[in-house]
Every structure is written in structure tokens, then in C-alpha cells.
């Protein structure tokens, strides 16, 4: 058994059992991938994949259990490298943050500024992605930290910590009829075309749910991935905008008016997440603490522990 065989097993699953795609991802040949799989199966004495001819259709029961072990082994191999770098290059390295445009644009600038002053030799990478992509990057070990409102909290392999809460806000051009509606109502908003986030981004599901509960059907004139695009088309008079409240800046958005709508929408919570078992460098903990001072290294380490380890710790403390 060797690491290449383990990488091939993992990549074959990731590539939906397509050996050609797995080979391409690992820069090797399809025949080489097939041979490594067969050699490992022969060594272990069990079949890992369900087959139909030469095609792989899925995992056998032993294969399903082995993949979980393989993931842990390969994660710990990366952790060994990170551990060595932590002590040999304490304030140097690379930190990858996977987040949405809204967080990168409106929530993180001050944090990034403070972090770069404290760690000028750390290469900070902000990957702007969808919530689903952020989850994948964390699980694959590509990203160290994920920050988003959707998707993260429901994934058991991730440890998620509440970052901050926010609500949606309604924006209109000056002179819009909604400015005279006080208090603002969902019924009044629904009379106009709406410009808001694309499905799956920045609490869009909460917007849809709010209007659906009121028995209202929205006329979505446009949807976009980020608030800057939404604000641009609201300024052009193409519809009423519904954006994250932190996306409106009265000093900059002088051609828009923010309407009091906090009473209409539910609160949303943005989470900071890391993969359980993923070794974080010291500066990664510092980045999280700059986001929220109460998220100390000790608190994060406790939350990142696999649940089984937490239970063992609690049992030891009780005894």
C-alpha cells in the first residue's frame, strides 16, 4: 500500500468513478489508475468498487469504509507538512479563505487590512465562490477557512462558528413611490419588479420564503451574484433592490435610498467554518480572531475536534 494508491482511490470517487477523469486529475494514465486499484484490492483481499465490465459504478461496503480512512490519512499527511511549517516558518506561508463576494467586499476589508499588517509575509488568497463551492474547497483541503451565510452549518465534517447576523434591506432610486409607504410592507414591495441575489447566494432563500409565507409572488426582473451589480441596475430604474444591509453605504451609494425594512425580513447568520481535523497555522487562528475576538484559538480547537474526541475528553474529565 502506498500514498499514490490512496490518492487514486480518493480521486476516483471525486471524479464520479470515471477513471479517465481521475487519471487526468492526477497527471497519470488510465491504465496506471486501473493497475493501482487492482493491486490495492489484491493486497487487501476485498473488492473496493462495484463493477460492470470495465466500468466502475460505485463503492462496495468495504470501499465505503476505506474511503473514509483514506480521507483521514491524506488529510493528516497535509497536516504533518503544515505542522512543520508552523515551527520552521512561523510568520510565513499561505492562507486561503473561501468566501462569497458579499463577505469579501463588505465584511472582510478591515480584517484583511489588520491581518496583512500583522503578517506581511503571509500570502493571503481570497477565493470568491458560491457557498457550495466553499464547502467543497474546505472538504478537499484547498481552503483553510470558509466564510458564508449558506451551506456551511449543515455539513457535519465542518466546524462552524457564528460570525455576525444581518438582515436584508430594500433600496430604491430617489423619488421612488415606495419612499412614501410608511411603514413599508411586503405587499407594497411586491407591486414592483425586484432585483436581488441569485438563488443560493446571500440569503436569497430567506427572501423567497418571506414573500411566500405572505402569499405573494415576486416579479424577479434580474438576479445577480453580488450587491454591486444589483445596485447598478436599481440606479438605472430597472427595479427595487433587495440586498444585504451591510452592502449599502450612504457615503458611496448617493444615488440610492435605503428604506426601513428591517421589520420585514428574518435575520441571517454568516458562519466561519473550518474542516474538522484540518491543521491550522497560527496565523489562521489569528485571522479568525480578528473577525471575532471571542473566537480564540482555544475555542476553535475545541470546536474543530472530531465529535468522538470531544466525547472522550468529556468522559475523561468526568472520571
CATH code of the domain covering residue 22:
1.10.10.10
State the cell numbers at 61: 461496503
Res 312: pLDDT: 41
What is the average per-residue pLDDT within 295-315? 68
Query: In the chain, what is the straight-line distance between the N-terminal and C-terminal CA atoms, in Å?
Result: 40
Instruction: Out of 222, 238, 266, pick the residue that ends a domain.
Output: 266
Averaged pLDDT for residues 5-18: 88
pLDDT at 167: 93
**Does residue 226 lie in a domain region?**
yes
Q: What pLDDT, on a 0 to 100 scale, did the predictor assign at position 279?
A: 81
160 with 276, same domain: the answer is yes
Residue that has been written with the C-alpha cell 460492470 in this structure? 52
Helix (H) or strand (E) holding 109: helix 109-118
Domain stops at, among 80, 111, 127: 80
pLDDT value of residue 212:
95
Q: Residues 262, 182: one domain? A: yes
Query: Do 185 and 259 sit in the same domain of this protein?
Result: yes
- Give the span between the Cα atoms of 283 and 118, in whole angstroms: 9
Exposed / middle / buried, residue 206 (Cβ in 10 Å: 0-12, 13-18, 19+): middle
> By residue range, what is the domain housing residue 187?
168-266
Q: Does the pLDDT at position 181 exceed 80?
A: yes
Residue ranges with strand state E in the chain: 49-52, 55-59, 93-99, 122-128, 145-148, 158-166, 168-172, 194-197, 220-224, 240-244, 257-259, 268-275
pLDDT of residue 227 exceeding 80, the answer is yes
Mean pLDDT of all residues belonging to the chain: 88
Amino acid at each position: 500500500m502506498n500514498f499514490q494508491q490512496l490518492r487514486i482511490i480518493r480521486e476516483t470517487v471525486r471524479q464520479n468513478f470515471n477513471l479517465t477523469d481521475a487519471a487526468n486529475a492526477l497527471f497519470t494514465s488510465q491504465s496506471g489508475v486501473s493497475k493501482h486499484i487492482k493491486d490495492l484490492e489484491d493486497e487487501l483481499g476485498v473488492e473496493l468498487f462495484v463493477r460492470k465490465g470495465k466500468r466502475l459504478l460505485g463503492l462496495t461496503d468495504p470501499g465505503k469504509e476505506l474511503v473514509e480512512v483514506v480521507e483521514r490519512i491524506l488529510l493528516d499527511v497535509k497536516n504533518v507538512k503544515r505542522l512543520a511549517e508552523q515551527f520552521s516558518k512561523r510568520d510565513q506561508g499561505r492562507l486561503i479563505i473561501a468566501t462569497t463576494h458579499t463577505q469579501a467586499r463588505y465584511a472582510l476589508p478591515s480584517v484583511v487590512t489588520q491581518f496583512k499588517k500583522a503578517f506581511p509575509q503571509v500570502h493571503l488568497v481570497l477565493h470568491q465562490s458560491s457557498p457550495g463551492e466553499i464547502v467543497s474547497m474546505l472538504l478537499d483541503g484547498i481552503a483553510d477557512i470558509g466564510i458564508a451565510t449558506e451551506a456551511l452549518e449543515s455539513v457535519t465534517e465542518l466546524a462552524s462558528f457564528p460570525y455576525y447576523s444581518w438582515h436584508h434591506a430594500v433600496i430604491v432610486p430617489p423619488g421612488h413611490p415606495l419612499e412614501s409607504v410608511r411603514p413599508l410592507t411586503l405587499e407594497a414591495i411586491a407591486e414592483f419588479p425586484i432585483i436581488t441575489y441569485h438563488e443560493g447566494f446571500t440569503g436569497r432563500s430567506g427572501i423567497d420564503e418571506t414573500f411566500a409565507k405572505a402569499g405573494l409572488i415576486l416579479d424577479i426582473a434580474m438576479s445577480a451574484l453580488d450587491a454591486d451589480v444589483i445596485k447598478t441596475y436599481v440606479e438605472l430604474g430597472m427595479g427595487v433592490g433587495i440586498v444585504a444591509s451591510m452592502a449599502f453605504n450612504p457615503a458611496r451609494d448617493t444615488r440610492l435610498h435605503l428604506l426601513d425594512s428591517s421589520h420585514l425580513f428574518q435575520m441571517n447568520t454568516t458562519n466561519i467554518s473550518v474542516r474538522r481535523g484540518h491543521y491550522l497555522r497560527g496565523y489562521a487562528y489569528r485571522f479568525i480572531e480578528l473577525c471575532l475576538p471571542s473566537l480564540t484559538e482555544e475555542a476553535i480547537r475545541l470546536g474543530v475536534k472530531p465529535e468522538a474526541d470531544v466525547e472522550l475528553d468529556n468522559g475523561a474529565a468526568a472520571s
